[in-house]
Chains A and B, each alone.
Chain A
Amino acid sequence: MRRHFFVVTIALLGVVGSAHAQSLQEGLRLYRDGNYEQAAYSFYDVLRADGDPQVRDESEIYLAESLRKMGLYVPALFYYTDVFKSGKRNRFYLNAAQGLLDIQAELHDHLIVPSLFSEYLDSQAFGKLEPAKVAQINFLLGELSVQKNKLSDAETFLKAVDGSSILYPKAQYFLGLVYSKRGQDDAALARFREAVKSIDPAHATAEQQEVLNLAHLALGRVLYGAGQFEASTQAFGKVARLSEPWFNALFDSAWAYFQMENYGAALGQIQSISSPYFSKRHIPEAYVLQGTTYFVNCQWDRVRASVLRYQELYGTMEQQLQAFLAKNQDPSVFYTVLTAETQREIPLELVREVRRTRHFADFHHMLSHLAWEESKVRDIAVWQGSDLKNDLALIMTAQGDQLKTAVGSWSKTRLAQLAAQLQNFSNQVNILDFEVADAERKWLEQGREIAMGQRARLPRPEIPTDQWQHWNFQKEFWKDEIGYYRHALRTECK
């Protein structure tokens, strides 16, 4: 694509010559006046036709700037990239780097710009950028390295984000992930705690709040992995109610309570995550945990109820998903299916599970913005019928195709993971089903009763202090009570 543009450009170089120098001045005047549509038109004209490379360089960077100011980030990205790739010999190299970083933030791009900086890394030149931009580059490269599982590189880049940067908490969080992936629990815990410490909840931005919650969640998970279940429940409990990671915190704490043999609390957390508030969540594992909890307490009828509900909700979901994955379709189809208003090919619960991820949301943001940009370019009157309009349309179409392929490939992988997980859960449920039948058989052989009648109501769990209140759960879900359910459970194994 780019080659195509420059073939055109070079072909026109000798035709017009210095006559366009005046257009550059005109473009700069329009740019300063904020008339970016006309300015972009002039810069594009000079870029295509002027014989002086210096003038062309200046036109190109101003074209990119004009497009960025119009919100046309994808075409701007194209021209910034062109300047950036020409390296330090282009006097606008650092301007291009800065523009790329701005666009990265606007588009929530965690792939294109970071990959570009990774490929054309020039620490000496980047050092001349303002400290906030240097920190942004280090963070992006660190994040990209984590995604690529290059943990040493990631550690180096993320450590370079210093405490004065707004990205410092996030970098600490990612450093924690690096150490966690390496199995260095203590180091991971230290980084997650540092991430928490470096955020003032009262003055945190939305992104910092998210990092704070993720850091608490990660702390809980590392502590859980280290067998410190009590501490892990405390960390999970610090994840803000109603925040995006809260669901995971509730579910993970259910496992921690299970490990602590606090079965009433584990069942309470399961009740929370299966409440109507989380009705759009994918919760097959909840039934596995619930069935297992009842199983270890020898409550066979309740195990059967969990198994039955799992089979009702998820019995056919795996086959449906596997059938879709087996079609071997182009990756871009996955993005189309996942964002379709109505589709029947993938269960909606799984679609939501993929769409909910930050990765997908960021890609979707880029593609949605791109769609808006395409419509904007079509509507700009002064560009009607021009080569500029046609070229920008080509750039955006090509970029859109690439992005759809990228997000489609990622989504396909994610769906395959979900299919594998479902298969795993189905196996566990089948084992539970078998085990409960076996246990019932043994009880019958021992002359024990397996058909439980109505169980007597058990006393309420302990109330920590009088600053806590309690209610009987009477089959109504109140949003403010989610996370506070506790069951009273007595083992029936004896």
Chain B
Amino acid sequence: MRFTHWGLGLLLTLSALPAVAADDKSERSVYSGDESAYVVQKRAYSKKGKFELTPMFFGSMNPKFVGFVGGGLSAAYHFRENLAIELVSSIPKGMYSYYSSTVEDLFSEEGLHPDEVSLKQMTYFGGLNLQLSALYGKFRFSFLGYNTLIDYDAYVTAGAGMAQTKETCVANSRGCSGLVGAGRGLRSPADFSDEWKVAGSLGGGMRFYFSKMFGLKLEVRDFVYADRKVGVGSTDTNTTTEIRNNIMFIFGFSVLI
């Protein structure tokens, strides 16, 4: 495997699996140690000027109280090989959120419950991001006698977007859904700003290309926003707030067109 930094030309060889070392017996080249030799190679797969569509699956990585899984779509345009703008969205109503076992345990065994803001569930997210592919590399993939070189790049992504959340309520009460877990239901908060909020997005991932059109994307992204829960009724007058870090693992099929 080898990878290099885009700007600095730093090369690190992680392993020499696919290559033949220069001191191999079959080696006939005259190569002194102080030779300044490089490989200047056209990329096997170019992204520049192309759109990248990525149907994707995601799941939360830190479901302390609330977790989620779902599907989404990312559409990116690559201005340069190393720079792209990306629009990402989960599929509306395509997210399944759930309470973690901790919540169930707290409710049923300890008689406790977390702050209600911690129990709000994200039901949608979307955003606009900038991607910088700073590293690229390649490795050989071998499986049952099949060998191929796979090119990859690593990128960081940052941007802003919107997230939709729902708050917990007493299941089957007025305006509340049926039971979704921990004896609770869900409803849209009365205040629009409690339901929709501006979010920031920060992440990083890798693309692996198997052909000029198709590849895989693996990514970890933190979708972060400030959430709050406004108390309602005579017995619940507290307003609680929390910075919610929704760290998710994303797995997608990348199509370059």
Q: Which residues of A contact B (CB under 8 A)?
A: 267-268, 270-271, 274-277, 279, 283, 287, 290, 301-302, 305-306, 309, 313, 454-461, 463-464, 466-481, 484-489
Contacts and interface: CB of A to CB of B under 8 A. Distances in A.
B36 interface: yes
A254 B34 CA distance: 21
Given A271-B37, A455-B34, A472-B4, 6 more contacts: A469-B40, A469-B42, A472-B39, A477-B27, A478-B18, A484-B42
Contacts of A309: 28, 30
Contacts of B22: 475-477
Contact of A470 (B30, B38, B44): B38
B80 interface: yes
25 contacts: A268-B37, A271-B31, A274-B28, A275-B27, A275-B29, A276-B24, A276-B27, A454-B33, A459-B36, A467-B43, A467-B81, A469-B43, A470-B9, A470-B38, A471-B39, A472-B4, A472-B11, A476-B19, A476-B22, A477-B19, A477-B21, A478-B39, A484-B42, A485-B38, A487-B38
A302 to B, nearest CB: 6
Nearest to B151: A469
Interface string B200-242: 0000000000000000000000000000000000000000000
Contact of B13 (A271, A456, A468, A476): A476
Nearest to B23: A475
A471 B36 contact: no
Q: Please indicate which of the listed interface residues B27, B33, B82 has the most CB atoms of chain A within 10 Å of its own CB.
A: B27
Contacts of B197: none
B29 A271 contact: yes
Contacts of B43: 467-469
Given A474-B13, A478-B19, A486 B39 contact: yes
Closest 6 CB pairs of A and B: A476-B19, A475-B22, A473-B37, A488-B36, A274-B29, A458-B36
B101 interface: no
Contacts, number: 137
A207 B170 CA distance: 77
A461 B39 CA distance: 9
B23 A470 contact: no
Contacts of A283: 28
Given A290-B30, A476-B16, A468 B38 contact: no
B139 to A, nearest CB: 11
Contact of B39 (A270, A454, A470, A489): A470
B68 interface: no
Contacts of A457: 34, 36
A474 to B, nearest CB: 6
B138 to A, nearest CB: 8
Interface in B9-66: 9, 11, 13, 16, 18-24, 26-44, 46, 48
B2 interface: yes
Contact of A276 (B26, B36, B40, B46): B26
Do most interface residues of chain A lie in helix, strand or loop, or is the interface mixed? Answer: mixed
Contacts of B39: 470-473, 478, 481, 484-486
Contacts of A471: 2, 4, 11, 38-39, 41
Contacts of A279: 26-28
Contacts of A467: 42-43, 46, 48, 81
Given A276-B20, A287-B30, A309-B28, A484 B40 contact: yes
A460 B10 CA distance: 11
B136 interface: yes
Contact of B37 (A456, A469, A480, A486): A486
B38 A305 contact: no
Given A475-B23, A477-B20, A470 B37 contact: no
Contacts of A271: 29, 31, 37
A91 B21 CA distance: 67
Contact of A468 (B23, B28, B36, B40): B40
Contacts of B87: none
A475 B41 contact: no
Contacts of B21: 475-477
Nearest to A302: B32
A313 B32 contact: no
B149 interface: yes
Contact of B41 (A275, A313, A468, A474): A468
A302 B82 CA distance: 38
A461 B38 contact: yes
A187 to B, nearest CB: 34
A472 B30 contact: no
Given A467-B81, A485-B37, A305 B30 contact: yes
Interface in B129-148: 136, 138
A484 to B, nearest CB: 4
Nearest to A280: B26
A486 B35 CA distance: 11
Contacts of A461: 38, 40
B23 A486 contact: no
Q: Please indicate which of the listed interface residues A268, A271, A279, A474 has the most CB atoms of chain B within 10 Å of its own CB.
A: A474
A313 B37 contact: no
Contacts of B42: 467-469, 484
A338 to B, nearest CB: 22
A487 B36 contact: yes
Nearest to A457: B36
B68 to A, nearest CB: 37
